């Protein structure tokens, strides 16, 4: 595997106490479209901005195509097409004005390529930014990023507030562009259907740490779901309610040879009795495992 994006022992602290990222080790494979998933405050935006040099790590190191964005921010930016959650467009400028602006300020910007993407998406070039819908603004942001012909695309929840059709069109353009150019994309998103449509790998962050970093297929194949008591352990990743209220647990298959222990036998039995996990259940199970434990009710009652 050739890693396009790397984080080695990465930590980012704001103020004197709050760590947005802590002891993070990650590698994103070249040519992949990787989903970055986690709750609000898990460090997703901080991580993406760090790779572009917009955030300076407190500890650890970063690499983007072997470039250190702390030491050479200009080179890191040149390697990156960045799409933020809120489209950063100038209200008074037309779409074509934005392409002209990018051509002046971003060396190598391919204005014709960006126009072709916008034509495919039926975005009028003469429309002002403030006349566009939220979905159209996100699509303009993607076209600008793709027009850079950057080998790395970092997308910080650009689909959070746009309608299903616009999301599907956005992802279709993204996937086609990555497959055609061999670039690498890291997409931050909460929407599992978007991830299943576009991504081949998955990173789950929680509490500033990596909870899971595997291919989508390995994430599904490597987990099962069972209905069980919340006190069960051994092979259990995390427990969570189903959409209809049943108590479920996400479990991993037991490594070969581990069945010799009592916990291993119990975990193997649960995995055999369970069913295949969906991608959504894999993500939710790992996020549930990252939450801090509930405080002891008895202690709380005494304190009260």
| pLDDT confidence of residue 162 | 83
N- to C-terminal Cα distance for the chain?
55
- Confidence grade of residue 300 (pLDDT, cut at 50, 70, 90): very low
Q: Cα angle at 169 between 48 and 109, to 5 degrees?
A: 55
CB 201 within 8 A of CB 216: yes
Top-confidence residue, 229 or 91 = 91
| pLDDT confidence of residue 177 | 93
Cα–Cα dist 70/62, whole Å: 8
Cα–Cα dist 304/289, whole Å: 28
Average pLDDT over residues 227-241: 72
Cα–Cα dist 25/6, whole Å: 7
pLDDT tens track for 258-296:
555 555 555 555 555 678 999 999 999 999 988 776 655
Average pLDDT over residues 132-137: 91
Top-confidence residue, 58 or 253 = 58
Residue linked to tokens 């709750």: 39
pLDDT tens track for 30-78:
999 999 999 888 899 999 999 999 999 999 999 999 999 999 999 999 9
| pLDDT confidence of residue 171 | 93
User: How many helices (DSSP H) and strands (DSSP E) are in the chain?
Assistant: 11, 13
pLDDT at 253 over 80: no
Nearest Cα residue to 83 out of 162, 180, 163, 193: 162
Other CB atoms within a 10 A radius of the CB of residue 175 amount to: 16
């Amino acid at each position: 595997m050739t890693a396009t994006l790397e984080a080695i022992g990465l930590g980012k602290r704001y103020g004197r106490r709050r760590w947005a990222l802590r002891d993070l080790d990650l590698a994103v494979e070249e040519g992949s479209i990787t989903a970055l998933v986690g709750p609000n405050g898990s460090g997703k935006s901080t991580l993406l901005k760090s790779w572009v040099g917009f955030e300076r790590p407190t500890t650890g190191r970063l690499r983007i195509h072997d470039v250190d964005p702390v030491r050479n921010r200009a080179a890191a930016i040149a390697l990156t097409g960045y799409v933020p959650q809120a489209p950063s467009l100038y209200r008074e400028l037309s779409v074509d004005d934005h392409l002209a602006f990018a051509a002046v300020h971003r060396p190598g910007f391919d204005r014709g390529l960006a126009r072709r993407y916008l034509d495919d998406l039926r975005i009028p070039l003469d429309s002002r930014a403030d006349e566009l819908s939220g979905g159209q603004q996100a699509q303009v942001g993607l076209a600008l990023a793709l027009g850079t012909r950057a080998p790395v695309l970092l997308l910080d929840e650009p689909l959070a507030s746009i309608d299903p059709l616009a999301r599907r069109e956005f992802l279709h353009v993204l996937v086609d562009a990555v497959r055609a150019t061999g670039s690498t994309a890291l997409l931050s998103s909460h929407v599992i259907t978007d991830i299943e449509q576009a991504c081949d790998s998955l990173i789950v962050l929680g509490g500033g740490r990596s909870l899971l970093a595997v291919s989508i297929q390995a994430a599904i194949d490597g987990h099962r779901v069972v209905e069980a008591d919340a006190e069960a352990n051994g092979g259990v990743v995390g427990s969570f309610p189903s959409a209809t209220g049943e108590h479920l647990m996400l479990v991993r298959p037991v490594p070969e040879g581990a069945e010799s222990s009592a916990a291993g036998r119990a975990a193997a039995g649960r995995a055999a009795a369970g069913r295949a996990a969906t991608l959504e259940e894999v993500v939710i199970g790992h996020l549930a495992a990252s939450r801090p434990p509930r405080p002891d009710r008895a202690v709380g009652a005494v304190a009260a």
